[in-house]
A and B are shown apart, each in its own frame.
Chain A
Amino acid sequence: MKKSMLVSGLCLVVALFGAGCAKAEKSGDGATDENWPSGETMEMIVGYSAGGTTDTMARELAAELEKKLDVQIQVVNQDGAGGQQAYTDLANAEPDGLTIGTINYPTILSTMIDKSKGATYKLDDFQLLANHVNDPRITVVQPDSDYKNADDLVEYAKENPGKLRGATSGLAGGGHFSMLKLEEATGADFSPVHFDTGQEDAKAAFLGGHVDVYFASVGDALEIIESGDGRPVGLMDEERSDLLPDVPTFKEQGIDVQEAGMRGYSLPAGVPEERLKILSDALEEIITSPEHKKALAKLSLVPAYMDPEEYAAWLDEQLPTVEKFNEVAMEDK
Chain B
Amino acid sequence: MDAAELLNGFATVLTPQNLLLVLAGCLLGTVIGVLPGVGPVAGTAILIPLTMGLDPAGAIIMLAAIFYGSQYGGTITSVLINTPGEAASAITCIDGYAMTKKGKAGVALGIAAIGSFIGGTLATVGLVVAAAPLSSLGLKIGPPEFFALMVLGMSLLVGLAGTSMVRALISGSLGLLLAMVGTDPHAGLPRFSFGVVHFFDGLEFVAVLVGLFGLGEILAGLADRRQASADTQVGRLLPNRQELRDSSGAIGRGSLIGFLLGIIPGMTGSASSLLAYGAERKFARNRDQLGEGAIEGVASPESANNAHANSALIPLFTLGIPGSPTVAVLMGAFLMNGLTPGPMLFETDADIAWAVIASLFVGNLMCLVLNLPLIRVWTMLLKVPRPLLTSLILVFLVVGSYSINNSTIDVMVMFVFGIVGLFFRRLDIPLAPLVLTLILGPFMETSLRRSLSMSLGDFSIFVTRPISLTLLVLAAVIILSPLLRLRRRGQDKQDSRFDRMREDSEV
> Which residues on A are within 8 Å of B, measured CB to CB?
1-2, 5, 8-9, 11-13, 15-16, 19-21, 23, 49-52, 55-56, 59-60, 63, 75-78, 80-82, 84-85, 88, 114, 116-118, 162, 165, 170-172, 191-198, 200-201, 203-205, 207-211, 223-224, 226-227, 229, 298-300, 329-330, 333
Contacts and interface: CB of A to CB of B under 8 A. Distances in A.
A51 B45 contact: yes
Contact of B265 (A9, A16, A201, A226): A201
A78 B198 CA distance: 11
A193 B450 contact: yes
B32 interface: yes
B315 interface: yes
Interface stretch (B106-114, B186-194, B291-299, B421-429): B186-194
13 contacts: A13-B27, A19-B46, A49-B41, A49-B328, A63-B49, A75-B49, A200-B265, A200-B266, A205-B143, A207-B139, A223-B340, A224-B342, A298-B340
Interface SS majority for chain B: helix
Given A9-B24, A203-B321, A210 B454 contact: yes
A294 to B, nearest CB: 10
B450 A194 contact: yes
B47 to A, nearest CB: 6
Nearest to A176: B188
Interface string B38-78: 10011111111110100000000000000000000000000
A52 B332 contact: yes
A20 B411 CA distance: 13
A47 B367 CA distance: 34
Interface of B: 16-17, 20, 24, 27-28, 31-32, 35, 37-38, 41-50, 52, 139-143, 183, 185-190, 195, 197-198, 200-201, 265-266, 315, 319-322, 325, 328-333, 335-336, 338, 340, 342-344, 399, 402-403, 405-406, 446, 450, 453-454, 456
Contacts of A19: 38, 46, 403
A2 B186 CA distance: 54
A298 B335 contact: yes
A196 B446 contact: yes
Contact of A8 (B50, B266, B328): B50
Contact of A50 (B42, B50, B335, B402): B42
Contact of A60 (B50, B315, B336): B336
B325 A299 contact: no
B142 A191 contact: no
A193 to B, nearest CB: 4
B28 A12 contact: yes
Contacts of A20: 35, 37-38, 399, 402-403, 406
B333 A208 contact: no
The 5 closest A-B pairs by CB, nearest first: A50-B45, A51-B332, A20-B403, A210-B142, A208-B139
B344 A16 contact: no
A162 to B, nearest CB: 7
B182 to A, nearest CB: 9
B456 A171 contact: no
